[in-house]
Amino acid sequence: MKKLTKSLHALAGMTLLAGMAGGAFAATATDAGAKAEMAAAQLGPRPFYLIDAMQDSPLKERLSACKDQSFSRSDLSIGHRGAPLQFPEHTRESYVAAARMGAGVVECDVTFTKDRELVCRHSQSDLHTTTNILAVPELAEKCTVAPDYSSDTPFKDVECRTSDVTLDEFLSLKGKMDAGNKEAKTLEEYMNSTAAYRTDLYAANGTLMSHRQSIALFQQLGVKMTPELKGAAVEMPFEGDYSQHDYAQQMINDYKELGVDPANVLAQSFNLEDVKYWLANEPAFGAQGVYLDDRYDIEGFDYSNPATWSPSMGELQAMGVKIIAPPLWMLVTAENGKIVPSVYATAAKDAGLDIITWSLERSGPLNGGGGWYYQSINDITSNDGNTFDLLDVLVQDVGVIGVFSDWPATVTYYAGCSS
């Protein structure tokens, strides 16, 4: 079996990680002690549980042999919204947990408030499921669609957007686990609907953050940053004069004003035009721009048939795109009972594109095939240990340079064991 050291050695030679590994945080981190503490990863029991669940194999033997070693932060490990398997996403607590688990890169999904301030939230229209806004009457009434308590299902159409509230109002809220029962009769029933494989143990006091606050925290923690410019739920230009380009530029301006080295920022978007804007107008940041590929939603798209891809991998590369980021399942397929790279993965590599993927540890228990994130290999996914089987193929055979995970310790363990 090939060693991950080969992949990481090649990875280190790439422009992206060469720029990111230069110690730029030494000048910006405000707490060297905190950085040193975070660099020593604290993995907890989950990676060991996953290894024990694996079927006997050379990979299981290799991973088992590392159980007594110490682990350090890895750029392969990306905190997807922090560590939302257990902590409310995009909260300070979730980000700190991700850094403690060895994530070398942490994500703030970026959207904007009523007063056009940038904040960390997965969607502009998810405050009703990710915060306590519905339990704050004076803010709940500002929602785009407030609860209708005269109805038998008062929450069926509820929608609360970041653009419904000011930054100060946003920061007064508390983060909770992302969940909401649209058929609920009461507010308590609506809010107490967290998935069984997650937990509300840490959801009482989730601290929401502005984009600029997240940057300051990430600088303190000594991690790299991967902001995702989220699509707006409101019509753009917002209020007639805040355009998509204004929005895309504002996100980059926050990093510039706070003195962050562009090499330590991987700006993401599902909107290819955003990536092209950064390439043209902020090339130092655009050089690490990440095109999040959601073309699976386009009718007729087939990840195994290049004729259905527009633009092609070569056309993306010609535009200046260097990093593409599809979901896990688009990079693999099942062949003779084994996980192997997909046509899509091979084409991306052949075009010279680097690959990041999402999101490991987001599927809950894998004994039922793994669901959406594992859809191309559902038939050969049978237990939680398959998490490491998939990760091994993604790194060794596909050659990904980063893996978003809802529980970064798993990727940190793999990277540390294989170095």
| pLDDT at residue 34 in the model | 57
Please, what is the end-to-end C-alpha distance for the chain in angstroms? 14
Q: What's the whole-number average pLDDT of the chain?
A: 92
pLDDT tens-digit map of 36-75 = 666 789 999 999 999 999 999 999 999 999 999 999 999 9
How do the domains of the chain map onto residue ranges? 4-108+209-417, 117-207
| pLDDT at residue 6 in the model | 37
pLDDT at 17 over 50: no
Q: What is the DSSP string of 176-211?
A: --S---TT-SSHHHHH----TTS-STT-SSEEB-BH
pLDDT bucket at 30, cuts 50 / 70 / 90: very low
DSSP 379: G
| pLDDT at residue 32 in the model | 60
pLDDT tens-digit map of 273-317 = 999 999 999 999 999 999 999 999 999 999 999 999 999 999 999
pLDDT bucket at 4, cuts 50 / 70 / 90: very low
Closest CA to 103 of 411, 392, 328: 411
pLDDT tens-digit map of 315-339 = 999 999 999 999 999 999 999 999 9
| pLDDT at residue 38 in the model | 63
Record the tokens describing residue 153, joined without a space. Answer: 């299902």
CATH H-level superfamily of 4-108+209-417: Phosphatidylinositol (PI) phosphodiesterase (3.20.20.190)
Is pTM beyond 0.75? Reply is: yes
Region 410-419 average pLDDT: 95
CA torsion 97-98-104-107 (nearest 10°) is -130
Record the tokens describing residue 358, joined without a space. Answer: 């999402």
pLDDT at 389 over 50: yes
Closest CA to 145 of 135, 130, 160: 160
